[in-house]
Homo-oligomer: A and B are copies of this chain.
Amino acid sequence: MNVTILLVDDEAAICDMLTLALETAGFSVKTAKDGQTAWHLLNEQHFDLALLDWMLPNLSGIELARRIKNTSELKEMPIIMLTARGEEDSKITGLETGADDYVTKPFSTRELISRIKAVLRRRAPAALEQQLKYGDLILDGLSQRVRTEKTEIVLGPLEFKLLEFFLRHPDRVFNRDQLLNHVWGGSVYIEDRTVDVHVLRLRKALKVADLSHIIETVRGSGYRLKAL
């Protein structure tokens, strides 16, 4: 599993507690204390899911949700709202705004985690997979290894993430900017052309299993993992 969650809550205590719980459950977590910061982060890197507190300074959770759902690149990201009891009415609006689920404080971390998984299963099943398969190629998220039936493929960390990303989105073209955002994670200022080099390295590594052709170049657009 390689799920990155954005947690937005202004109470540090809750943030810490949830971060711990979520990381224990195997998620990667990034936090923001207010709507502003959250919005920034969302524009910089990819998240698989957002946990939004209802009440937020600067930019309220609901407003943030509305924005996300109005932004084509973020539209697909599932949102879970965190609401306090007594804000029941708000939930309605929350769901109407586009939240995929809501959780009422106080809640058990177990409940939260199970809801997160439920939502992900529904919206992005691939994200929960530990092992990704492509033909006889197997990418194992836990051991960070890639291999085919008979060959072990040795990858550097970045090449691993790159391949993983492609495996999660087969047969779709990504341009260099998109790859930088998703694989490198935003807030990093790198030349587009660097992507070429890493694709090259990935292909070179795949060669030992005679699989370098599975990453296709789409001239003028970017790269794509060939459909099986």
What residues make up the interface of A, taking CB atoms closer than 8 Å to B? 35-36, 39-40, 43-44, 58-59, 63, 71-73, 91-92, 95-96, 101-102, 108, 110-111, 114-115, 117-119, 121-123, 125-126, 129, 142-145, 156-157, 171-173, 177-178, 181, 186, 189, 218-221, 224, 227
Which of B91, B125, B126, B189 contacts A110, CB < 8 Å? Answer: B189
Question: Do B117 and A177 have beta carbons less than 8 Å apart?
Answer: yes
Residue of B nearest to A124 (CB): B72
- Contact A96 B59, beta carbon cutoff 8 Å: yes
Least CB distance from A164 to B in Å reads 13
Query: So how many copies of this chain end up in the complex?
Result: 2
Cβ of A123: which chain B residues have Cβ within 8 Å of it?
Answer: 72
Contact A118 B44 (CB under 8 A): yes
Closest chain B CB from A44 CB (angstroms): 7
**Would you call B96 and A43 a contact (CB within 8 A)?**
no
Check A173 against B143 for contact (C-beta < 8 Å). yes
Report B-chain residues with C-beta under 8 Å of the C-beta of A145. 171
Q: Is the CB of B73 within 8 A of A122?
A: yes
Check A91 against B58 for contact (C-beta < 8 Å). Answer: yes
Minimum CB–CB distance from A80 to chain B (whole Å) comes to 11
- Report Cα–Cα, A80/B122, bound state, in Å: 23
Task: Report yes or no: B39 in contact with A95, Cβ–Cβ below 8 A.
Answer: yes
10 A-B pairs (CB sep. < 8 Å): A43-B101, A43-B118, A43-B122, A44-B118, A72-B122, A142-B172, A144-B218, A144-B224, A157-B219, A157-B220
